[in-house]
C-alpha cells in the first residue's frame, strides 16, 4: 500500500476526501490528515507518504510554498493539488514542481480515481526500477567481492544494502539444462539471494541462517519443475563481504572434488568423502575388476555391490578424474555385456539395447549415483541370464574350483553352497563341461601343479599346494593326466626352455 496525506484547511473537505473512494482497493491508504502547511511539514518529517493531496490556498503558508519546501527534501513524492475555480490559474504555477494533477472543488470521484490509477502505475514502475537498479548494483559489487577486487568503501556500501549478518556461497552444477537462462530464473525466484555465474558454474550468495545446511526450497522447486538434475556445494559462512572471495575458492575446490562425496545433493567441508566411506583395498585394481567380472558371471549378487565401491575407491586413490572413472566403468561393463552376448546368443539383441543405457553414466553427478546405477545395471543383466540358471550354477562351480583347488574340495561341499542335490549337480556339471566333477578338479590341480614345478618347488611341496596330502597320490594323478612323472615334466620343460634360448 502507498501512503497518502491530505492537507486542507476545510474540515469538510478533509473528511470528504477520506471517505470519497475505497482507497485500499486502488493500492493506497490514508495515514495522515493535516489542517495547514505547518502541521503537514511536521507529519511529513515523521512519516513520508508517497502521495500528498494539498489545498492550493490555505491560511499562513500556501499550498504552493508547502509543495516547494517538500520538493527540496523529496524529489520522488507525488502531489495532487486541490483548487477552487478562482485559484486554478494560480495553481498552474505548481507545474514547475512536477505535480501529478489538479482537482477542482468539489472533487469529482471519477476524476480522483483516474489520477490514483495513473499515480499507482507510475509508483509501481518506479518501485520496480529502483529495485532492479539496486539488485544490479548489488550483483556488480558481489562479482567484485568474489574476484577479491572490492574496495573497503564498496564493501561497506554492499553490507549496508543487504543487511546480512552471515554470507555463504552455493555453487551449482546443472545437468541437461536445455539452454535455459537459469541465472535470470533464479533472480526471479530467489528474492533473498544474489545469483551469479563464474567459471562456468551457476552460484548464489545467500544469507546463512542458523546452522542448517540446506538447499533453498525455491531453488529445488525451480530446477525440479524443469526436470533439471543438479549437484551443489556450500561454503562456510563468513561475516564480512571481503571474505566472499575466500568462500568462493572453498566452494570451487569442493565442486572440483564433489563427485567423490557421498551426499547426493549438497556438499560441505564436513561431508563424507569416498576415502572415509570405503576401506582401502589391499587388492590391486586389476584383481578387483577380475573379481567383479567373475561375480557377475556366477551370479554372486552379494559381492557385486561392495566390489563396485572398492573399484571406484581404488580408481579415486589413483587420482582418476570423474570422467576417467566413468570411461573405465563403461569399458568394463561393455566388455561384460559383449562376453555374455557371445555366451547367450539368444539374448544378443537385448544385450545390445543394454549397451545404449551405458551412455547415461555421463550424466551421473556423484559417486553414489554411479555405484547405484552400475548395481542396478548388473542386476538387470543377471536377471536376463537368470533364465539359464543351470549355466550360472556351473560357472559358479568352476569359479569355486579355480579358487579352492588347493583345499579338500568335494562335490558334496559345493552342492551345499549352490543348494543342489549332489547327484543332480554332478550330472549338470558333466553336461555343461563334458567332464566329471572330480576329473575337472584333477585337471585344474595338474595345470597349477605344472606352474609350481616350473617355479622350482619340490614334488611334495607341489602336492600340498594343489590339494593332495599324499605326494605319491599326486605323483600317480600327474602321470595319469600329463603322461609323465612330475620330475620328468620339469626336466623336459627346462630342456625345452633351454633349447629355445639356444635358438634365440
Task: Tell me the pLDDT tens digit for each residue of 109-122.
Answer: 999 999 999 999 99
First to last CA, the chain: 100
Give the CATH architecture of domain 2-107.
3-Layer(aba) Sandwich (3.40)
Cis peptide before 106 (omega within 30 of 0): yes
Residue 293: its pLDDT value, please?
84
User: What class has domain 145-272?
Assistant: alpha beta
Number of H helices, E strands in the chain: 22, 10
Relative to beta strand 229-234, strand 266-267 is: parallel
- Degrees, nearest 5: CA angle 439-440-446: 90
The boundaries of every CATH 3.40.50.2300 domain in the chain are: 2-107
The cell for 1 is: 500500500
Residues 62, 38 contacting (CB under 8 angstroms)? no
Question: Residue 31: what pLDDT?
Answer: 94
pLDDT at residue 229 tops 80 = no
Domain with CATH 3.30.70.270 in the chain: 145-272
- pLDDT for 216 equals 65
Residue 49 in grid coordinates: 507518504
CB 326 within 8 A of CB 359: no
- Lowest mean pLDDT of 60-64, 193-197, 377-381, 494-498, name the range: 494-498
Q: What is the mean pLDDT of residues 262-266?
A: 71
Of the pLDDT bands very low, low, confident and very high (cuts 50, 70, 90), residue 39 is: very high
Confidence of residue 83 (pLDDT cuts 50, 70, 90): confident
DSSP-based three-state secondary structure for 33: strand
Q: Of the candidates 96, 123, 115, which has an alpha carbon nearest to the alpha carbon of residue 17?
A: 115
Q: Give me the pLDDT at residue 87, please.
A: 61
Amino acid at each position: 500500500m502507498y501512503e497518502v496525506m491530505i492537507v486542507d484547511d476545510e474540515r469538510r473537505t478533509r473528511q470528504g476526501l477520506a471517505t470519497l473512494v475505497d482507497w485500499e482497493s486502488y493500492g493506497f491508504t490514508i495515514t495522515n490528515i493535516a489542517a495547514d502547511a505547518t502541521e503537514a511539514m511536521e507529519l511529513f518529517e515523521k512519516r513520508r507518504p508517497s502521495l500528498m493531496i494539498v489545498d492550493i490556498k490555505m491560511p499562513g503558508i500556501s499550498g504552493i510554498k508547502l509543495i516547494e519546501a517538500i520538493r527540496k527534501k523529496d524529489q520522488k513524492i507525488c502531489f495532487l493539488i486541490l483548487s477552487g475555480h478562482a485559484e486554478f490559474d494560480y495553481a498552474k504555477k505548481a507545474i514547475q514542481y512536477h505535480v501529478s494533477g489538479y482537482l477542482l472543488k468539489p472533487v469529482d470521484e471519477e476524476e480522483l480515481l483516474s489520477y490514483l490509477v495513473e499515480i499507482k502505475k507510475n509508483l509501481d514502475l518506479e518501485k520496480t526500477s529502483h529495485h532492479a537498479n539496486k539488485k544490479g548494483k548489488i550483483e556488480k559489487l558481489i562479482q567484485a567481492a568474489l574476484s577479491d577486487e572490492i574496495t573497503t568503501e564498496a564493501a561497506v556500501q554492499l553490507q549496508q544494502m543487504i543487511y546480512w549478518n552471515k554470507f555463504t556461497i552455493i555453487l551449482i552444477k546443472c545437468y541437461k539444462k536445455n539452454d535455459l537462462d537459469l541465472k535470470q530464473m533464479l533472480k526471479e525466484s530467489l528474492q533473498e539471494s544474489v545469483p551469479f555465474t563464474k567459471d562456468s558454474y551457476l552460484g548464489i550468495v545467500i544469507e546463512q541462517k542458523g546452522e542448517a545446511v540446506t538447499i533453498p526450497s525455491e531453488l529445488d522447486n525451480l530446477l525440479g519443475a524443469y526436470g533439471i538434475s543438479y549437484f551443489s556445494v556450500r561454503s562456510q559462512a563468513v561475516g564480512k563481504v571481503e571474505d566472499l572471495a575466500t568462500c568462493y575458492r572453498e566452494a570451487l575446490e569442493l565442486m572440483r572434488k564433489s563427485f567423490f562425496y557421498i551426499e547426493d545433493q549438497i556438499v560441505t567441508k564436513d561431508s563424507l568423502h569416498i576415502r572415509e566411506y570405503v576401506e582401502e583395498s589391499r587388492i590391486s585394481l586389476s584383481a578387483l575388476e577380475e573379481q567383479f567380472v567373475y561375480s557377475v558371471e556366477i551370479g554372486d549378487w552379494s559381492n557385486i555391490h561392495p566390489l563396485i565401491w572398492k573399484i571406484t575407491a581404488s580408481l579415486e586413490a589413483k587420482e582418476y578424474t570423474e570422467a576417467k572413472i566413468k570411461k573405465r566403468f563403461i569399458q568394463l561393463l561393455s566388455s561384460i555385456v559383449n562376453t555374455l552376448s557371445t555366451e547367450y546368443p539368444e539374448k544378443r539383441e537385448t544385450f545390445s539395447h543394454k549397451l545404449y543405457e551405458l551412455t547415461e553414466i555421463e550424466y551421473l553427478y556423484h559417486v553414489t549415483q554411479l555405484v547405484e546405477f552400475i548395481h542396478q545395471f548388473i542386476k538387470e543383466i543377471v536377471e536376463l541370464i537368470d533364465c539359464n540358471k543351470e549355466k550360472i550354477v556351473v560357472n559358479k562351480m568352476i569359479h569355486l574350483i579355480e579358487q579352492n583347488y588347493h583345499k579338500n574340495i568335494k562335490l558334496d561341499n559345493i552342492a551345499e553352497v549352490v543348494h543342489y542335490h549332489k547327484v543332480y549337480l554332478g550330472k549338470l556339471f558333466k553336461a555343461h563341461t563334458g567332464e566329471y566333477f572330480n576329473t575337472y578338479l584333477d585337471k585344474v590341480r595338474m595345470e597349477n601343479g605344472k606352474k609350481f614345478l616350473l617355479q622350482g618347488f619340490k614334488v611334495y611341496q607341489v602336492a600340498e599346494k594343489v590339494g593332495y596330502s599324499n605326494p605319491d597320490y599326486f605323483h600317480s594323478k600327474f602321470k595319469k593326466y600329463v603322461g609323465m612323472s612330475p620330475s620328468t615334466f620339469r626336466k623336459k620343460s627346462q630342456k625345452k626352455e633351454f633349447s629355445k634360448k639356444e635358438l634365440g
